[in-house]
């Protein structure tokens, strides 16, 4: 019988070396994935809440208008009867769409401006989506949220257009709702 050295008995069988660098890389990747997933959820939540507000904003029978200024040189005006042009909105208005009762506004601040308008059409959501897909092409980001679809088109580093298309049988008499929002930061002026 062979004798086992005393040191080997205490230490047990040799263990394979663990590469700590692989664990660190894996941990960093998991953290990055977690951060990215959290950001996607946050953005989806903000867009979803904005869409909910858009769809439930006001009674279709109510006309509203207001204007206000601020000490920082900004101004906000909202007028549901104001007619906005495609150049103000940064995108074409869907053919035959009628102005909606909520969502028309101009916001001018020192940092930039936002112009927003809403429209209604008896055409299907799919027809409206096809129209804007053909206008924006592959340069737009499309987010499908079930009852609504959001197009985000970055015209430049300082200018963006967001078009939201929604259809709900219980809202706006079942008509398709279109909301166009044109955002320009001060650098673009």
Percent of the chain with pLDDT over 90: 17
Tens-digit pLDDT profile for residues 104-155 = 887 777 788 888 899 999 999 999 999 999 988 888 888 888 888 998 988 8
CB atoms within 10 A of CB 52: 12
Q: For residue 93, which of 67, 72, 121 has the smallest C-alpha distance? A: 121
CA 88 to chain centroid, in Å, comes to 20
Q: Is the pLDDT of residue 67 over 60?
A: no
Percent of the chain with pLDDT over 70: 63
User: What counts of helices (H) and strands (E) characterise the chain?
Assistant: 4, 9
pLDDT band at 68 (very low <50, low <70, confident <90, very high): very low
Between the alpha carbon of residue 30 and those of residues 23, 33, 41, 153, 181, the distances in Å are 10, 5, 16, 31, 36
Q: What mean pLDDT is reported for the chain?
A: 74
Non-local (6+) Cβ contacts of 164 within 8 A are: 51, 54, 148, 149, 150, 151, 177, 178, 179, 181
Q: Is the pLDDT of residue 165 over 70?
A: yes
> What integer pLDDT is reported at residue 79 of this predicted model?
55
Q: For residue 55, which of 160, 179, 142, 143 has the smallest C-alpha distance? A: 179
Q: Is the pLDDT of residue 95 over 60?
A: yes
Residue 29 in tokens = 């990747």
Instruction: Kindly state the average pLDDT of the residues 146-168.
Output: 88
> What integer pLDDT is reported at residue 20 of this predicted model?
56
pTM of the entire predicted model: 0.59
> What integer pLDDT is reported at residue 61 of this predicted model?
42
Tens-digit pLDDT profile for residues 6-41 = 554 555 555 555 555 677 887 788 887 777 777 667
Residue 26 in tokens = 């894996």
d(CA 132, CA 92): 8
> What integer pLDDT is reported at residue 91 of this predicted model?
92
Tell me the chain's radius of gyration from C-alpha atoms: 27
CA neighbours closer than 13 Å in the CB half-sphere of residue 139 = 11
């Amino acid at each position: 019988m062979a004798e086992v050295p005393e040191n080997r008995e205490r230490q047990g069988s040799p263990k394979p070396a663990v590469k700590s660098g692989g664990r660190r890389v894996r941990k960093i990747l998991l953290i990055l994935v977690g951060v990215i997933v959290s950001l996607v959820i946050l953005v989806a939540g903000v867009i979803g809440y904005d869409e909910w507000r858009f769809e439930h904003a006001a009674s279709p029978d109510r006309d509203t208008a207001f204007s206000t200024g601020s000490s920082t040189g900004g101004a906000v005006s909202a007028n549901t009867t104001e007619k906005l042009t495609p150049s103000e909105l940064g995108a074409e208005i869907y053919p035959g769409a009628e102005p909606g009762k909520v969502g028309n506004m101009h916001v001018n601040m020192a940092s930039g401006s936002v112009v927003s308008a809403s429209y209604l059409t008896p055409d299907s959501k799919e027809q409206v989506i096809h129209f804007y897909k053909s206008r924006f092409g592959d340069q737009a980001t499309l987010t499908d949220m079930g009852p609504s679809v959001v197009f985000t088109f970055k015209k430049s580093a300082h200018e963006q257009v967001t078009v939201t298309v929604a259809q709900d049988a219980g809202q706006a008499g079942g008509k398709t709702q279109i909301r166009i929002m044109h955002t320009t930061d001060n650098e673009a002026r």
